[in-house]
Amino acid sequence: MIKVLYFARLREQLETASEEMESAGMESVDSVIASLKERGGIWGDVFGGDQPVLMAVNQEMVDGSTKINDGDEVAFFPPVTGG
Amino acid sequence: MIKVLYFARLREQLETASEEMESAGMESVDSVIASLKERGGIWGDVFGGDQPVLMAVNQEMVDGSTKINDGDEVAFFPPVTGG
Amino acid sequence: MNLVKVQAEPFDIAEVQDGLRADNPAIGAVVSFVGLMRDMNEGDQVATMTLEHYPGMTEKALEAIVEEADERWELMGIRVIHRVGDLNPLDPIVIVAVASAHRGEAFQACEFVIDYLKTRAPFWKKEKTPDGERWVDARHSDDDAEARWKR
Amino acid sequence: MNLVKVQAEPFDIAEVQDGLRADNPAIGAVVSFVGLMRDMNEGDQVATMTLEHYPGMTEKALEAIVEEADERWELMGIRVIHRVGDLNPLDPIVIVAVASAHRGEAFQACEFVIDYLKTRAPFWKKEKTPDGERWVDARHSDDDAEARWKR
């Protein structure tokens, strides 16, 4: 299993803060994105590429090509606005 | 008359903090320097050009070519080291 | 020597700076940046703000930034404290304070840390305006500020 | 809005910064520099220091620097306080604090003011080392720092 987290505007749009996903078939962050997009509706919109989405694996910012292992924590969120 | 002030290392070398000078013949700061240098001894050393000397007229940093008027306050001092 | 903190409570600016320079007579310069909540953004009045973050990752990201600053410059201590939760205009949001022997290093490292924090640390601001709540958009100027430090 | 002071008494770092940002919710950034007395200089232990200045000209020079910063950047307040007289290691010597809506301006103006102060304000340091008293020499690096702002 992998844990998937959503933050800020994404969390509100998807009405989901976190979920567990089967890690089978999830080679990389891009595979996770593809599977989320397939859900259609707002999921397709959010992960369709029109709005900027940042991603982290195990709490480190990464890009989509990053490999995923069972037990990983994957997170999606908008560009950050702290400070 | 013009008032001449000396600060920091210069004050100690010249053993003088301030003096009054006739303004007659004192066209510019350079004329003041020339007349001080003529005193010879430590005055010749300090104003002989071997050590850096900054100058101000009426409390504004200037260069030697600056004109002098009766009643002006002229000051000589080493490069500043505040902050 | 370095310290990174994410907290809901206000921080004491004087305490942070005093703690940084305390008892180290080799420190010649302390540069600090305090980011404050403004009552205007994008031309609209802002009444209050909520800061969301990604617990765990936030601290990691800040520590990585601080570590990188320490590698790039000769420093004698860095403090980063960032608030989360509800904030009001005039409230300090973040403080970055850096100590060094000479001022050039402290200035550069302080600006580096806040520039990186703005683009790399997972915080998100939501503000309340007369037209309702809205998420704050990231600024292109922050990307430009970060890009200056690339090497 | 701006304030320049030369004084023998210690200053309160927190008070200076709080005074600067007080009650102006348009301020988004406060950058401050504090210069502290170090116990080492040029490789020698320094026990105490005396700061001499040129009363009258010092204030004028600082005011001119602050005015120039105000012309160059969009600022919301500048504070410069510089001590004179006897100082000991760990003592704050000078504080420069600058407020602005966005951080870039405050960082630049703060560094500009201290760089100019270092080469244009008539202060002189004399330090007491184990070998006796000596006047501190001006640093070439300070001239270089000032030269960056020429335009």
Please report the DSSP string for chain D in residue order: --EEEEESS---HHHHHHHHHTT-TT--EEEEEEEE--SEETTEE--EEEEEE-TTHHHHHHHHHHHHHHHHS--S-EEEEEE-EEE-TT-EEEEEEEEESSHHHHHHHHHHHHHHHHHHS-EEEEEEETTEEEEPPPPHHHHHHHHTT--
Residue of B nearest to D119 (CA): B80
Nearest CB to D122 within list B9, B52, B80: B80
Residues of chain A with C-beta less than 8 angstroms from the C-beta of C61: 59, 61
Q: Once rounded to an integer, what is the mean pLDDT over residues C63-90?
A: 98
Residues C137 and C53: their CA atoms lie apart, in Å, by 15
Residues D146 and B48: their CA atoms lie apart, in Å, by 27
Contact D33 C106 (CB under 8 A): yes
Position C4 pLDDT exceeds 90: yes
Token pair in block for residue B81: 């080291």
Q: What is the pLDDT of residues A27-82, one digit of tens each?
A: 999 999 999 999 999 999 999 988 999 999 999 999 999 999 999 999 999 999 99
| Chains touching B, CB cut-off 8 Å, 3+ pairs | D
Query: What is the four-CA torsion angle of D15, D21, D22, D24, rounded to 10 degrees?
Result: 170
Given a cut of 70, the residues of chain B with pLDDT beneath it are none
Residues D12 and D36: their CA atoms lie apart, in Å, by 13
Given a cut of 50, the residues of chain D with pLDDT beneath it are none
Task: State chain C's mean pLDDT as an integer.
Answer: 96
Position C7 pLDDT exceeds 90: yes
What is the model's pLDDT at position D22? Answer: 83
What is the model's pLDDT at position B73? Answer: 98
C4: helix, strand or coil: strand
Task: Write the CB contacts of C3 (distance below 8 Å, at least 6 apart in sequence).
Answer: C19, C78, C79, C80, C81
pLDDT band per the 50, 70, 90 thresholds, residue C1 = confident
Q: How many Å separate Cα D67 from the centre of its chain? A: 15
Residues of chain D with C-beta less than 8 angstroms from the C-beta of C111: 103, 107
What is the model's pLDDT at position A49? Answer: 85
C30: helix, strand or coil: strand
DSSP state, residue A16:
-
- Count of CB pairs separated by less than 8 Å, B with D: 74
Contact D34 C30 (CB under 8 A): yes
Of all residues in chain B, what percent carry a pLDDT higher than 90? 96
What is the model's pLDDT at position D151? Answer: 82
Residue of A nearest to C95 (CA): A83
- Count of CB pairs separated by less than 8 Å, C with D: 100
pTM score, whole prediction: 0.95
The reply to whether D20 touches chain C by the CB within 8 Å rule is: no
**Residue D140 region, left (φ>0) first, then alpha (ψ -120 to 50), else beta?**
alpha
Q: Helix C140-147 crosses helix C103-120 at what angle (to 10 degrees)? A: 130
The reply to whether C119 touches chain D by the CB within 8 Å rule is: no
Nearest CB to B81 within list D56, D82, D125: D125
The reply to whether D118 touches chain B by the CB within 8 Å rule is: yes
Contact C33 D37 (CB under 8 A): no
Residues of chain A with C-beta less than 8 angstroms from the C-beta of C139: 81
Task: Write the CB contacts of B22 (distance below 8 Å, at least 6 apart in sequence).
Answer: B1, B2
Indicate which of B3, B4, B80 best probes the interface with D, i.e. most D CBs within 10 Å of its own CB: B80
Query: What is the four-CA torsion angle of C42, C46, C50, C52, rounded to 10 degrees?
Result: 0
Closest approach of D90 to chain C, Cα-based (Å)? 5
Residue of C nearest to A53 (CA): C138
Residues A32 and A20: their CA atoms lie apart, in Å, by 12
What is the model's pLDDT at position A15? Answer: 98
Closest approach of C10 to chain A, Cα-based (Å)? 14
What is the model's pLDDT at position C23? Answer: 81
Q: Is the separation of the CB atoms in C86 and C48 below 8 Å?
A: yes
Place of tokens 């990186």: C116
Token pair in block for residue D4: 């320049």
Q: Is the separation of the CB atoms in C33 and C95 below 8 Å?
A: yes
Residue C4 φ then ψ, to 5°: -130, 130
What is the model's pLDDT at position B53? Answer: 97
Q: What is the pLDDT of residues A25-37, one digit of tens each?
A: 999 999 999 999 9
Nearest CB to D121 within list B5, B7, B80: B80
| Summary count for chain C: helices (H), strands (E) | 4, 10
DSSP state, residue C24:
-
Q: What is the pLDDT of residues D77-120, one digit of tens each?
A: 999 999 999 999 999 999 999 999 999 999 999 999 999 999 99
